[in-house]
Amino acid sequence: MQIFRSLSELPASFRPTVATIGNFDGVHRGHQWVIHEVIARARALGARSLAITFDPHPAHVLRPETGLPLITPLSQKLELISATGIDATLVLPFTRELSHTSARAFATDVLKERLSVIELHEGENFRFGYRAEAGVESLEALGHELGFRVSIYSPRALRGNAVSSSRIRQLIAAGNVSHARALLGRPFSITSTPAPGRGYGTRYTVPTINLAPYPQLIPAVGVYITTLTVAGERFNAVTNVGNRPTFGEDSFTIESHLLNFHPIELTEQTPLQLAFLKRLRDEIRWPSPEALREQIGRDVHKAQRYFSLCQALAT
């Protein structure tokens, strides 16, 4: 997939286009559905398929006080969009100046003149222009006037949950990673590095890894069945998200215990990807470290049964 980070980077040869615009936070099943339709229509029309997104997220510019945590930071979002097979993604820098662009000016100057859009595919809740002045009715009218077709999609639902970034964000924040997984179409995951100051050398022999502070969305405090991918090698794991209250420490950590561990090369720059599969329990203050170790043993046993069942179902 080609990635363009401004309108000026887009070559004149990359036209005409069939496009979709959105924040695509999470690149969930609803996003994937629309993107696949864009790809199919572009192929049918002999055009190029294009996803248009923004960086930073508009909420971080227009409502910074909300501190909206992202399901997928930009690098992860681009990887997931690329996996759909789309031709390119245009990442428009979102500024207050851009936010003051009227709906008509955006449709005329960007979609028609700069991108030569012949079809635009959007969800029915799509809004654009200064102060979100325009909805899909205005978009369809502008498309008819300017010569591009507009396809509108109704929201999708799965297991009684709307397939939307806001709903997925709520589920993850509540620790319901299983339902979030269904809406995303994959496990929720975060990408980080090992926590600094832990004495990592070139050879790491302890089966517990702490993640560096992560600034975006994380699940609710608790214990989870997870996988941790270390420099491309995946380990089954049990992960504690929280403050380790048994030890009286008031420092938030994401700590993974690797079940199928072997000594590995690890530095503070080693890439880690932690995928959350199932919530096991709340974080609890145990009466002693011994009681905690016994509970960890029970957590590990449940996780091992989970992975064994997954392996049996896959064969």
Q: Which pLDDT score is estimated for 196?
A: 81
Q: Rg of the Cα trace of the chain?
A: 22
Q: How many residues does the chain have?
A: 315
C-alpha distances (whole Å) from 31 to each of 4, 53, 146, 247 are 20, 12, 25, 43
Region 194-214 average pLDDT: 77
Computed from CA positions of residues 143, 144, 148, 150, in that sequence, does the dihedral angle turn out positive or negative? positive
Name the pTM for this structure: 0.91
pLDDT at 7 over 90: yes
How far is CA 294 from its chain centroid?
35
Rounded-to-integer distance, Cα 77 and Cα 276, Å = 17
Q: Which pLDDT score is estimated for 250?
A: 61
pLDDT at 179 over 70: yes
Helix (H) or strand (E) holding 158: strand 157-158
DSSP string spanning 210-265? EBPP--S--PPSEEEEEEEEETTEEEEEEEEEE--GGGT----EEEEEETT---B-
Q: Are 291 and 255 in contact (CB under 8 A)?
A: no
CB atoms within 10 A of CB 98: 15
* 244-277 residue pLDDT tens: 665 555 678 899 999 988 888 888 899 999 999 9
* 102-122 residue pLDDT tens: 999 999 999 999 999 999 999
Sheet holding 272-281, edge to edge: 188-192, 272-281, 222-230, 233-242, 253-258, 208-210
Selection from 108-122, 188-202, 296-310 with the highest mean pLDDT: 108-122
Q: Which pLDDT score is estimated for 205?
A: 61
